[in-house]
Amino acid sequence: MINIFEVNETNKMIDQENLDVRTITMGISLLDCVDADIDVVCEKVYAKITTLAKNLVKTGEDISAEYGIPIVNKRISITPAALVGGTACKTTDDFVKLAKTLDKAAKEVGVNFLGGYSALVSKGMTKADELLIRSIPEALACTERVCSSVNVGSTKTGINMDAVRLMGEMVKATAEATKEQDSLGCAKLVVFCNAPDDNPFMAGAFHGVTEADAIINVGVSGPGVVKYALEQVRGENFEVLCETIKKTAFKITRVGQLVAQEASRRLGVPFGIIDLSLAPTPAIGDSVADILEEIGLEHAGAPGTTAALALLNDQVKKGGVMASSYVGGLSGAFIPVSEDQGMINAVNAGALTIEKLEAMTCVCSVGLDMIAIPGDTKATTIAGIIADEAAIGMVNQKTTAVRVIPVIGKGVGEIVEFGGLLGYAPIMPVNSFSCDAFVSRTGRIPAPIHSFKN
Amino acid sequence: MKKAIITVVGQDTVGIIARVCTYLADNQVNILNISQTIIDGYFNMMMITDISAATKDVAEISEDLKELGKGMGLVIRCQLEDIFTSMHRI
């Protein structure tokens, strides 16, 4: 029988250490909404989303009340829009129309984000893919809750450098289109390499074509819980350190598993995966950088940071995998800058640079995330940053991503405020040497030799 | 059997158990086990209850108990047992 200490431990994690279920994300396939007429597509898309996700928010709130665990976000991911609108959309305006429909559907069901305004172009772009990508700046500027992602490479296909170059331009154009809001549009745009089909976290969530008609994926978080657990083992050896992280990750994932099964049962939608990601928020005590400091660094970014993060990421995965048979998505540690007070402090202290963050992305679960850069950064430079990240992902057979925000009208040292979960960030300097000639080359970077496993 | 765990944390005062139990009796919640301890100087009580026959659902009971606790300067929670068993039992 459960005892009082166990009950107290769980409630303390929730009350004092920010344990929460970060998101219940319903993946919805929109492949059956394809039509030659864009108005018909929009009609079908709106009907399907508002029917399937009708009770999503209410169910999340009910589970939260009954188990006493906060469920912060309820979200939707959809089939990449380039596939859904491909037949009907002849212009970028057609795709923007679809984006507006998605936004309207998200508002109707009450979810705070809807992901999947996406294109998967890791080897090549269809006409529709390219149209969708070119529509992203306007789509993100005129919608509120739609998130966009583009997969530009994979270990199996190599890197589509034409798409990388185009995305450099689109990130810049999105920043311009939303400059009145400190280029906020870029916070809803992710460029991936090896994007997973079942990621429940925004802004990169989409419902892969390998998935069922509808699915429930759950993202659990809890950097504060890990930080607190590590405070209890200060000065101990690495074995104790790793064991503590693993056990904590196990406990957190079990809660996610329970919530996922319950949500799946109540909504009558199959359970997909649990994504155990240490996803920080700007709240004090909800920081991945704080964990790195607790492991023994003065600030995130100090020598040893990459090793500490590698250890953390791996132990989180090991604990999570023991706790649920279906762990997926990104699972590991996120290292966004603006959403993590410890990272912001590290940048302000001069300890953390983009180059160090890039090294950290070799071992974290995603990539360069929520980094504000000067508004005058060239599109080709952004493409160069994307290419570097994609190369890390491609060669290391891991997901990598870039979500940088060139803040129009602002420069290094200034602060940009995104608000809410997106936080605020000091603008970081970017290496100003040119990569124009490299990025201007057309075609693809071939897949690495170790991808040939057939 | 559908079980819920009720926890009470706060300063010890007269009549805590009596008032919680009265509420539970009024709503057909059966108490299976009570344990109590002092942690960091605070009164800590945990009840394992059977809510199969309860006249209200867990969310409602939880809300009522929270209000009851506020009146006495206590934090009272009611949560389905599964969250604890899934975290602490393999």
Burial code (b: 16+ CB inside 10 Å, e: under 16) for A371-391 equals bbbbbebbbbbbbbbbbbbbb
Q: What are phi and psi of A150, to 5 degrees?
A: -135, 130
Strands A271-278 and A189-193: unpaired
Strands A146-154 and A189-193: parallel
C-alpha neighbours within 13 Å on the C-beta side of residue A418: 29
Identify the CA nearest to A227 among candidates A306, A162, A308: A308
| Structural contact between residues A78 and A116, judged by C-beta atoms closer than 8 angstroms | yes
The residue assigned the tokens 């940088």 is A404
Q: Do residue A67 and residue B80 have CB atoms under 8 angstroms apart? A: yes
Q: Does A449 touch chain B (CB under 8 A)?
A: no
The residue assigned the tokens 């994609």 is A390
Please report the pLDDT score of residue B38 as a whole number: 85
Contacts of A8 in chain B (CB under 8 A): 7, 39, 44
**Ordered domains of chain A (ranges, CATH):** 21-193 (3.20.70.20)
| Structural contact between residues A63 and A259, judged by C-beta atoms closer than 8 angstroms | yes
Identify the CA nearest to A253 among candidates A206, A315, A339: A315
User: ipTM greater than 0.85, yes or no?
Assistant: yes
Please report the pLDDT score of residue B81 as a whole number: 95
Q: How far is CA A164 from CA A42, A438, A440, in A?
A: 29, 11, 10
Please report the pLDDT score of residue A422 as a whole number: 84
Please report the pLDDT score of residue A313 as a whole number: 94
With 0.90 as the threshold, say if the pTM is over it: yes
Q: What are phi and psi of B77, to 5 degrees?
A: -125, 150
Q: Does B37 touch chain A (CB under 8 A)?
A: yes
The tokens describing A140, both together, are 């993100």
**Ordered domains of chain B (ranges, CATH):** 3-88 (3.30.70.260)
The alpha carbon of residue B3 is apart from the nearest alpha carbon of chain A, in Å, by: 11
Please report the pLDDT score of residue A454 as a whole number: 83
Please report the pLDDT score of residue A76 as a whole number: 97
| Structural contact between residues A372 and A429, judged by C-beta atoms closer than 8 angstroms | no
d(CA A342, CA A295): 13
d(CA A338, CA A348): 12
The alpha carbon of residue B37 is apart from the nearest alpha carbon of chain A, in Å, by: 8
Strands B74-80 and B3-10: antiparallel
Q: What are phi and psi of A220, to 5 degrees?
A: -110, 150
Please report the pLDDT score of residue A89 as a whole number: 96
Q: What number of helices (H) and strands (E) belong to chain A? A: 15, 14
Q: Does A67 touch chain B (CB under 8 A)?
A: yes
Q: Does B58 touch chain A (CB under 8 A)?
A: yes
Q: What is the pLDDT of residues B14-70, one digit of tens each?
A: 888 899 999 999 999 999 999 988 888 888 999 999 999 999 999 999 999 999 999
List, run by run, the mean pLDDT of 10-residue segments along chain A (454 residues). 90 90 96 96 97 96 95 96 96 97 98 97 97 98 97 97 98 97 95 95 94 94 93 96 96 94 96 92 90 97 97 94 90 92 95 97 93 97 98 96 96 90 91 97 96 87
Residue A327 DSSP class:
B
d(CA A355, CA A307): 15
